[in-house]
Amino acid sequence: MGDCVPWYGEDGVYHGWQEDSWVSGFWPGMLWILYDLTGRESYKQAAWEWDGRIEQCYLRNSNLHHDVGFQFLPTAVMKYKLTGDEDGRRRGLFAANFLAGRFNLAGSFIRAWNLDKIGWSIIDSTMNLSLLFWASNETKDPRFRQIGVAQAETVLKHFIRPDGSVCHILSFDPETGAFLEPLGGQGYDKDSSWSRGQAWAIYGMANVYRYTGDRRFLDAAKRVAHYFLANLEETGIPCWDFRVPHREKEPWDSSAGAIAASGLLELAEVDEWDGSFYRKAAMRLLESLTEHCGALEEVEYQGLLKHGTGEKPKGAQVDVSLIYGDYFYLEALAKLHGWNHRVF
């Protein structure tokens, strides 16, 4: 793939994108995991420059937003953890400051995207909170942690429904903080259950519990996990939205399955009561992904997983390989093989 930013690919070839894309950290993140697992210098060399490349987006006034966690945790922060590189640490802390600066005090939410979306917040940001918790531990500054907990509490209050289903986007009045309405986003509609959003919530809430020890977040992760597992297809693969009409005719999303599998393994590690259940569920999910979506035996195929769905409401990236699906599939397999470091 050279030095392009892979995002999605049909017929085994990834399309390149720009460094300010939210997906730009996943390919180098895969390289850092492989370096950590194998010690091979070629992986380290291929991964080394990526955090610097993404940092240049700040200088170009590029479109960076709430997803800097996805961009800098697998690159700068992982680089620092594995090598002690001070530039990696500096870039990670800079990204954490940027993310903290997006916090809206009225309403207690981290703003999503830019331009006119001033009062929007999304479930994806639950994963980016790990950047704030890392920065708080690294600097001994509690403000990062306080913002992370505040956003997580907003997720508990507004995003996760009583049955364990999850909203993708919520709109708040940025001046008063009043909750306005749910929005469909990448799901079927405002009341639907976008499977990748479910997966973000499983993993993200498990992470918040790991960092805080607050049982409310563990209980939330478990509730979302049970909803996710109960709604899988007979193949064990998630549909792109669990509430879309005529689901049997709709495409799968292997990326949601991979994210959920890695999140379930995280949940298994932090839940001393039901951990074995979640580990077995993750293993079954990975087996299903490998059997029905795996491209591991196709040597010229760049993706690891097929049958991902990016933005179905826009008709974009349907039945393709997705670099974040590949990343979380690899991450989950690494965890099963005893990998002890954590990116998120």
Query: So which residues are the catalytic ones?
Result: 67, 124
Q: Contact, 49 vs 31, CB < 8 A?
A: no
Q: Contact, 323 vs 27, CB < 8 A?
A: yes
**Strand ranges, E, within the chain:** 5-10, 13-17, 103-104, 109-110, 120-122, 169-172, 179-183, 308-311, 316-322
Cα–Cα nearest to 225, from 265, 195, 259, 198? 198
Q: Cβ-count burial of 324 within 10 angstroms (0-12 exposed, 13-18 middle, 19+ buried)?
A: buried
As a residue count, the chain comes to: 344
Residue 46's CB is within 10 A of a number of other CB atoms, namely: 18
3-state secondary structure of 25: coil
